[in-house]
Amino acid sequence: MAIAKAERLMNLALCLLGTGRPLSKRELRGSIEAYLEANSDDSFNRMFERDKDDLRELGLVIATVESLDGEIGYLARRDSNQLPPVTLDAEEAAALGLAAKVWQQARLAGAASGALQKLRAAGLPEDVDPYEAHSALEPRIPAHEASFEPLMLACRDRRPVVFDYRKATAARPEQRHVEPWALECWRGHWYLAGWDRDRGAERVFRLSRITGKVRSRAGRFTADVPDVVTVRETVASWAGETADRTALIRLRTGSGYPLRAKASAVRDLGDGWDELEIPYGHGLDAWLVEFGPDVVVLEPADLRAEVVDRLRAVAKG
* CATH number of domain containing 265: 3.30.70
Query: Domain containing 75 — which CATH number?
Result: 1.10.10.10
140 falls within a domain:
no
pLDDT band at 269 (very low <50, low <70, confident <90, very high): very high
Task: Round to whole Å and give the CA distance between 41 and 38.
Answer: 7
Higher-scoring residue by pLDDT: 32, 128: 32
Whole-number pLDDT of residue 130: 47
Across-strand partners of 192?
Answer: 183, 205
Higher-scoring residue by pLDDT: 171, 55: 55
**Pair 160, 209 in one domain:** yes
Q: Provide the residue range defining the domain that includes 95.
A: 90-134
Residues 191-199 have a mean pLDDT of: 91
Last residue of a domain, one of 56, 80, 104: 80
**Pair 214, 261 in one domain:** no
251 falls within a domain:
yes
Whole-number pLDDT of residue 2: 47
141 falls within a domain:
no
143 falls within a domain:
no
Number of domains the chain contains: 4
260 falls within a domain:
yes
Higher-scoring residue by pLDDT: 113, 255: 255
Query: Domain containing 163 — which CATH number?
Result: 2.30.30
**Pair 216, 289 in one domain:** no
The answer for residues whose C-beta is within 8 angstroms of residue 117's C-beta and 6 or more apart is: none
Task: Round to whole Å and give the CA distance between 216 and 204.
Answer: 18
**Pair 206, 251 in one domain:** no
pLDDT band at 189 (very low <50, low <70, confident <90, very high): confident
**Considering Cα of 267, then 268, then 269, then 275, what sign does the dihedral take?**
positive
Whole-number pLDDT of residue 108: 58
**Pair 163, 118 in one domain:** no
Residues 250-275 have a mean pLDDT of: 90
> What predicted TM-score, i.e. pTM, was given to this entire model?
0.46
Q: For the segment 247-262, what is each residue's pLDDT rounded down to a tens digit? A: 999 999 988 888 888 8
Last residue of a domain, one of 233, 268, 291: 233
Judged against a pLDDT cut of 60, whether residue 284 lies above it is answered with yes
Q: For the segment 67-95, what is each residue's pLDDT rounded down to a tens digit? A: 777 889 999 988 888 777 767 676 776 67
Percent of the chain with pLDDT over 70: 77
Judged against a pLDDT cut of 90, whether residue 215 lies above it is answered with yes
**Pair 228, 279 in one domain:** no
239 falls within a domain:
no
